[in-house]
Amino acid sequence: MSSTAPSSASPEPSRAGSLDAVAATRALAVFSLGGLIVLGLAWELWLAPLRPGGSLMALKVLPLVLPLAGLLKRRMYTYRWVSLMIWLYFTEGVVRAWSDTQLAGRVCAGLEIVLCLMLFAACAWHVRTRLARVDALRAAEQSQPQATP
């Protein structure tokens, strides 16, 4: 009788690394999305509003609130579409950084650009890491010999 059962003393290094990467990318995605929401509200209402007292431009953060629950629940589909949607906010940041005459507006636009790039990188890395982990688990399952009764 051979003992081919894997040791449960410690997880495989690659699997533990992928779990750490998944947690890190999730945290970075949630942090940068939350930062974009707070920045968008602060920018349009207090820091550099287009009109004194705020403007309706603050409503631009509403689409950012929708994916927050999906990111917190680790829904792969949400990470995928957020990585595409975020380019609209990146474009707004670039346009306003170039065209805004106020220093506060340019600083806010620069922060928006950085947060968008962070969110895109986190979403792309998260999806890639999770897909690689699934592929590794499937390969491990196929490589294990089948037990015969």
pLDDT digits (tens, 9 = 90+) for 101-138: 889 999 999 999 999 999 999 999 999 999 988 888 88
Asked, for residue 7, whether it belongs to a domain, the answer is no
Asked, for residue 145, whether it belongs to a domain, the answer is no
Question: What's the confidence (pLDDT) of residue 49?
Answer: 75
Question: What's the confidence (pLDDT) of residue 15?
Answer: 56
Long-range contacts of 107-115 (CB under 8 A, 24+ apart): 108/39, 108/42, 108/43, 108/47, 108/48, 111/35, 111/39, 112/36, 112/39, 112/40, 112/43, 115/32, 115/35, 115/36, 115/39
Split into its structural domains, the chain has a count of 1
Q: Which residues of the chain have pLDDT under 50?
A: 1-11, 13
Whole-model pTM?
A: 0.80
Q: How many CB atoms lie within 10 A of CB 78?
A: 19
pLDDT, mean over the chain: 86
Asked, for residue 42, whether it belongs to a domain, the answer is yes
Give the structural domain span for 52: 17-138
